[in-house]
Homo-oligomer: A and B are copies of this chain.
């Protein structure tokens, strides 16, 4: 391997491109027109424009990406997460083109990608799975009948999930049979739009359970290890917002049991590379296989912080056919990641857009920011609203929480609504402080939706700042005649217009 094409964008493309640069590889970034000025484009040795407009024409366009790989001499492709990362056909096409696929075999992707096959395989391998039923019917009407019948056996509350899905798309909680019709059609519609496959399956909803996942690494020399767990229970709209390692209620015994189950799961599909086996951990201590993500994960940094393993760098090594370089598992301290979303947490987490007029991340020891954006960038509705991941490490969980609070207060983002304050107040929730985190935490904490806790005196201070800003001439328009300067370096004195008024 000498040249690695990164078939992704945003923060994960930045993360991978930096790893490629540091490891001495040439790197190729690919970008759609609306990403021409994005950070990741600058981090690659070579950046190649993708023709087309929609995601399907660009980042999901297998043929175009393979053509670029060939034309620019890429001998490996790193898919990141999302996009083509779990497309078995793409993995196979890459391998068939004589290019290294930085990930597991297409067979492993396929078996884990289809939730039904995955469940069957896991059952056979002796990995515990959640009570639930697979719905094979593809036709809308037949599927509904089958789901109704399954729901009677599985019981409410239940979860509908897209068979070939992930990331919360096509997922619905159904509390009673009356809600079933609506939920099925919504879930199927989203699943078809996102994955081109409307099949769903029905699963018992284990309320009060923790979402705990095990990071695994497997090399081509037959070595397969786990790097301990991450807890990612705190979710909104079925998307993780707060992730940590280790899980606050984990015991060394249970870690070893879950780690061994994850290794069994990986072995069942002859896994190679980095992957994550997700489990639901019930308060009883029982755990159930949820799914395996056959790629790098958004929340991989918390594992890196506590284990000292550079997971992306190990992916590169494994793809080179080298043995992985990390030794035995040792966990040190505590790490927390929060996801910075452009969204309005006080309005049902509605995605937001706008210019990042000011974007000043926190600094200091034990603070890591994985970002795909920088000051002056524009948040558009074209892609996922996740802007960055703020990660902290500290010797203990309480110190990590303290550091996260400080970091969230120091983080300044102006011009686009973000969930910063929501995350900050999340850190003060009693259940977060004492580690009683489960997947229902946000709903329990704010049953009627979240709104910020603001003192009158702070509002008054903010109004005073607005008055001073207005009165001090900070608002006057830039009157430069040079177009390239009008869009120029974003300062508190620039006046921007939203592109989407």
Contact = CB atoms under 8 A, between A and B. Distances in A.
Interface in A93-110: none
A301 interface: yes
A304 interface: yes
Contact of A333 (B308, B366, B406, B492): B308
A87 interface: no
A273 B290 CA distance: 49
A402 to B, nearest CB: 5
A465 interface: no
Nearest to A360: B374
Counted per complex, copies of this chain come to: 2
A264 B107 CA distance: 61
A418 interface: no
A485 interface: yes
A402 B493 contact: no
B484 A472 contact: yes
Contacts of A15: 364-365
Interface in A278-337: 301, 304, 308-310, 313, 325-326, 330, 332-333
Contacts of A472: 482, 484
Given A21-B406, A484-B472, A365 B368 contact: yes
Contact of A491 (B313, B325, B489): B489
Given A472-B484, A488-B491, A493-B488, A365 B310 contact: yes
A493 B365 CA distance: 32
Contacts of A46: none
Interface residues of A, number: 45
Nearest to A307: B332
A55 interface: no
A408 to B, nearest CB: 12
A501 interface: no
Nearest to A358: B489
Interface stretch (A136-144, A149-157, A393-401): A393-401
Contact of A395 (B325, B364, B371, B399): B325
Interface string A470-486: 00111000001010110
Contacts of A473: 480, 482, 485
A452 interface: no
A406 B488 contact: no
Contacts of A304: 365
A308 to B, nearest CB: 5
Given A363-B371, A489-B491, A326 B395 contact: yes
B493 A22 contact: no
A274 to B, nearest CB: 15
A145 interface: no
A211 interface: no
A23 interface: yes
A244 B480 CA distance: 49
A190 interface: no
A18 interface: yes
Most buried by B among A18, A368, A474, A485: A18
A394 B304 CA distance: 10
Given A364-B18, A399-B310, A399-B313, A492 B493 contact: no
A402 B15 CA distance: 15
A23 B365 contact: no
Given A15-B365, A370-B365, A22 B399 contact: yes
A369 interface: yes
B301 A365 contact: yes
A457 B326 CA distance: 41
A396 B333 CA distance: 20
Contacts of A325: 395-396
Contacts of A489: 491-493
Interface in A18-34: 18, 21-24
A403 interface: yes
B333 A330 contact: no
Contact of A332 (B18, B21, B330): B330
A363 B472 CA distance: 34
Nearest to A488: B493
A403 B482 CA distance: 39
16 contacts: A18-B364, A22-B403, A22-B406, A24-B402, A308-B333, A308-B395, A309-B395, A310-B395, A313-B395, A330-B330, A363-B371, A365-B370, A472-B484, A473-B480, A488-B493, A489-B491
